């Protein structure tokens, strides 16, 4: 099946630092979604991307849809303690199985 | 928040017993999904539905069955629970408007098989 490689697996940073994480795939996706999951909760949608090359921001978060449609990245600027959590990328193809394929997640820890 | 309710939120059951998890939505979305989340594996698709009575298998469907008799409900059944099915189960819903698709998750069901 499709595979999404998400990196890094974990990050430990100081408050105020910028963070970058990415997902790559051998398959082409037509939609990329980025989620954050807090402990004991379901993933919450942060940003949705629909066009190759698209750059979208949501507050301190910025995500880009790769030109090749096989990758995407998420940046968090000026991190704060509440950014702690697990971040997942997810890709969706418009044909065939219409179900999200998820990366394995990036666990972010922020030191105040 | 998207109107997705999973029940129960927690369940402990014995090996060999049948278990049914319920996902209920109030968004009238066409697509519904069941994922399981385990350490080191992220979210893996069990089954999904693309309409009433229309379902398909995901990558980890063995030991699970699903039913969708109406738009708002998607049931996941473990016919005979095993310890390897101890996991956190998430339901998700999605809809496509034009070229845009967004998917939203329920709060999860923590299932322990002893």
Query: pLDDT tens, B22-77?
Result: 999 999 999 999 999 998 778 999 999 999 999 999 989 999 999 999 999 999 99
Return the pLDDT at A93.
Answer: 81
Give the residue from A80, A83, A61, A81 showing the smallest Cα distance to A72: A61
Provide the sign of the torsion angle of the four alpha carbons B2, B5, B9, B15, taken in this order.
negative
Residues of B with Cβ-Cβ distance to A98 under 8 angstroms: 31, 48, 50, 94
More confident residue, B52 or A2: B52
Return the pLDDT at A106.
Answer: 95
**Structure tokens belonging to residue A71:** 């990758």
Residues of B with Cβ-Cβ distance to A91 under 8 angstroms: none
Q: What is the mean pLDDT of residues A26-41?
A: 92
| pLDDT cut 90: percent of chain B above it | 84
Whole-angstrom distance, CA of residue B8 vs CA of residue A2: 31
Q: Which residue in the block uniquely carries the two structure tokens 């600027």?
A: A77
Return the pLDDT at A40.
Answer: 87
Cβ contact (<8 Å) for A104 and B42? yes
User: For B105, which of A1, A42, A97 is closest by C-beta distance?
Assistant: A42
Q: Of B17-21, B78-82, B84-88, B93-97, where does mean pLDDT reach its minimum?
A: B93-97
């Amino acid at each position: 099946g499709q595979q999404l490689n998400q990196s890094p697996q974990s990050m430990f940073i100081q408050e105020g630092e910028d963070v970058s994480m990415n997902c790559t795939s051998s398959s082409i996706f037509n939609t990329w979604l980025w989620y954050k999951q807090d402990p004991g909760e379901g993933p919450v949608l942060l940003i949705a991307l629909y066009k190759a090359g698209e750059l979208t921001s949501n507050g301190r978060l910025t995500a880009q849809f790769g030109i090749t449609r096989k990758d995407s990245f998420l940046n968090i600027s000026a991190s704060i303690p509440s950014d702690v959590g697990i971040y997942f990328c997810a890709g969706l193809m418009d044909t065939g199985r219409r179900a999200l394929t998820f990366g394995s997640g990036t666990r972010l820890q922020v030191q105040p | 928040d998207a109107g997705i309710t999973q029940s129960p939120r927690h369940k402990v059951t014995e090996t060999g017993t049948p278990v049914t998890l319920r996902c209920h939505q109030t968004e009238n979305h066409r697509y519904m999904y069941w994922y399981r989340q385990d350490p080191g594996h992220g979210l893996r698709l069990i089954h999904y539905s693309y309409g009433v009575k229309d379902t398909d298998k995901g990558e980890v469907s063995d030991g699970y069955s699903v039913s969708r008799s109406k738009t708002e409900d998607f049931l996941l059944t473990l016919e005979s629970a095993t310890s390897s099915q101890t996991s956190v189960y998430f339901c998700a819903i999605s809809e496509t408007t034009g070229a845009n698709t967004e998917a939203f998750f329920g709060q999860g069901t923590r299932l322990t098989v002893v």
